[in-house]
A and B are shown apart, each in its own frame.
Chain A
Amino acid sequence: MSVLVDESTRLAVAGITGKEGSFHTLNNRRYGTNVVGGVTPGKGGQDVEGIPVFDSWEQAAGEVQPNTAMIFVPPRFAADSILEAAAAGVELVIAITEGIPAHDELRVYNTLKRDRAGGHSTRLVGPNCPGILSPGKANVGIIPASFFKQGNVGVVSRSGTLTYQIGNEIAQAGFGCSSIVGIGGDPVPGSSFVDIIELFQDDEQTELIVLSGEIGGSAEEEAAEYIAEHVSKPVVAYIAGFTAPAGKQMGHAGAIVSGSAGTAAAKALALEAKGVRVGRTPTEVAEIAIEILGGVATDRRSIPHSGHTAGSPIGQQLR
């Protein structure tokens, strides 16, 4: 098992004919993901290295029955593309696009919520996220799969590269992941920590959950409450942004401390109050995870290094 994406994934990609869209779609296919189609209005009938392109989500749904959508279109078209994929009955929409207006995200979130109440059930992950990887099964998005292997750690994160950092340290210690889910760094994400932690709690393969959060909003605090009530598996957390000043947006649209709310310290406290161990560095998170998994590293993965002494001036070595 794993969560959200696996061998049963049938992926179609909005924006497949773009440079980024085609590059990552083909990467995903190379990994083994079943890519069944793409959507670009006006380019129906073409193909991208054998992947059929359709004019609309409705058409793609009728022809190739995707159960997963990846959104790679520019911000101004992304909200409509997400909603069209949902309307066509696609169950899971993963939005990679960065820079979607917050009001569009609000409209999308509330539309999907309303339609869920009406019996439709589309789950949105992202936007502004790196996607989802279930090692050994499927990769949907831009997560570099080579740093991860199959295992029993479930990772959910607001940040991409920070996830790679933590995941890589866990992998180097010989452990792998069930799934890595990027929920994105925007103010109104389609899925929250709670939504994904719920899936990991129910997933047989997952034995430990790593939550990687950051400043802004209150999603980490809400996760702390949820974990205390509903999660029996161990959870290790990391929060980025202890040194971030209030009022300054740190890259992600959602990463901003406003007033006294949303600080890293408050989030770490909220999690620790509910028994979640919080690592102070990405390395410490990996160490805690490894400790909990009961493991001394057994099959430490060797990553080739160029052999120079760490910390020494590169220039001097050649002299």
Chain B
Amino acid sequence: MDLLEYQGKQLFARHGLEVSAGKAVSTVEDAVEAANEVGYPVVVKAQVLVGGRGKAGGVKLAADEGEAREHAQNILGMDIRGHTVRTVWIEHASDIATEYYASVLLDRSAKQPLVIFSVEGGVEIEQVAEQSPEKLVRHHVDALRGLSREEAVEIATEGGADSDVIEGVADALVALYEVWLEEDATLAEINPLIVTPPTNPLGGSAAEGQAGGRRVKALDAKVSLDGNALYRHPENQGLSDSENEDPIERRAKEQGVQYVKLDGDIGILGNGAGLVMSTLDVVAQAGGAPANFLDAGGGSDAAKIQQAVELILANDAVKAVLFNIFGGITRCDEVARGLIAAFGEIGAGGHSIPFVVRLDGTNDVEGRRLLEEAALPNVHAARTMNEAAEKVVELAAA
């Protein structure tokens, strides 16, 4: 589950990482009020789960109330690569001396947590890895011991952090690791991790901190939480970009069905993630374009199949539907009953979308017999997966 920047920053703050004070708002009036509250200059930042916000004009600096209003008006409702901006984050603008990068993630290959640090922040980290890999420190952490402060100091030193902020960077790394560990994150990334200029004791920009040396602060936040661990984080359960979520995907989630919307016109239902992925591929190879991924899961009963059919048909782009079932725990007769029930709900002949059904495995003979008896209009049987894919592509094109 990916978090919006401001949600990530709230988690950071909870674990002692320094972030700017700010407010998440969804109307222009609230944005202006928030800007007045945090104090100018402010940054108005679009909250969407997609990169390239700055380039798209979704991050703007405002020196006064007029500018804050103007930027909020422009950014709220803006479309950034298919994501509508419904929330902006208003925070006091930070002075920046230099920009670093820090992240903690689960390295699936090494099966250990991985800390990455670089003094080349503010740019795509993949770019740094490619162009100047020597400026990237990759440090595996012993998952059973965790990240010690000594290790964090070593990482900061090895990465070439300025000597006056090594302690500050180490503190940030330890806090970021704590976020990753205690919030059950799979990724916790700060880009940029900024170093502020020294504050001037005689006045100037010392408003938000005491006069003194340079400080280390998270200017952005990218956090992915493990959905399987949400049960132990009730406070995080409401976090997600649910407003920007596809409505069918949201409905599927509520029903406990694995559904991912795709761009094509052939609805897909299968059992088991691997088989469904494979079905998408085989349909694409036959020249078709899948409209969704839908894993009905193991042991689906008729009611669940019926719900799944409704989800697939909720997507108006769907012109034909493919059922690809290899029954293990799932019984083909239950799948047939679910399909028949779904047709009953919709009303026979009440829609013109053709179905191609391939049933194999547990109780397949019974499942096929039930379908034959039901004589559903516009339902075609196929013997193999390849044949089913070809048939559904043909029907979708018709």
Contact = CB atoms under 8 A, between A and B. Distances in A.
A212 B274 CA distance: 9
Contact of A165 (B143, B232, B258, B278): B278
Contacts of B374: 314-315
B229 interface: yes
A241 B281 contact: yes
A151 to B, nearest CB: 19
B135 interface: no
A161 B380 contact: no
B126 interface: yes
B112 interface: yes
Interface string B280-300: 111111000010010100100
A142 B127 CA distance: 45
B351 interface: no
A42 B134 CA distance: 56
A41 interface: no
B132 interface: no
Nearest to A161: B272
A76 to B, nearest CB: 6
A102 B106 contact: yes
Interface stretch (B12-20, B89-97, B385-393): B385-393
B228 A100 contact: yes
By CB atoms of chain B within 10 A, which of A249, A251, A253, A255 has the most?
A251
Contact of A159 (B143, B274, B375): B274
B179 to A, nearest CB: 12
A249 to B, nearest CB: 8
B131 interface: no
Interface string B181-224: 10010100000000000000000000000000000000000000
A253 B228 contact: yes
A222 interface: yes
Contacts, number: 216
Interface stretch (B21-29, B34-42, B56-64, B360-368): B360-368
B346 interface: no
Interface residues of B, number: 70
Interface in A272-288: 280-283
Nearest to B226: A102
The binding surface of chain A is classed by DSSP as loop
Given A161-B270, A252-B274, A188 B361 contact: no
B162 interface: no
A240 B387 contact: no
A196 to B, nearest CB: 16
A106 B143 contact: yes
Contacts of A130: 328
A305 B365 contact: yes
Nearest to A313: B380
A318 B270 CA distance: 26
Contacts of A102: 106, 184, 186, 226, 228-229
Interface stretch (A7-15, A31-39, A109-117): A109-117
A46 to B, nearest CB: 25
A165 B106 contact: no
Interface stretch (A47-55, A213-221, A226-234, A292-300): A213-221
A281 B281 contact: yes
A250 B379 contact: no
A163 B108 CA distance: 23
A258 B68 CA distance: 35
A251 B258 contact: yes
Contacts of A318: 372-373, 375
16 contacts: A75-B228, A101-B228, A106-B113, A107-B143, A164-B326, A188-B108, A218-B109, A240-B281, A245-B262, A250-B260, A254-B108, A281-B281, A308-B368, A314-B372, A314-B379, A315-B374
Interface of A: 75-76, 99-104, 106-107, 109-111, 114, 130, 142-144, 147, 157-165, 168, 185, 187-188, 212, 214-219, 222, 238, 240-245, 248-255, 259-260, 264, 280-283, 304-306, 308, 310-315, 317-319
The 4 closest A-B pairs by CB, nearest first: A159-B274, A251-B273, A161-B272, A162-B274
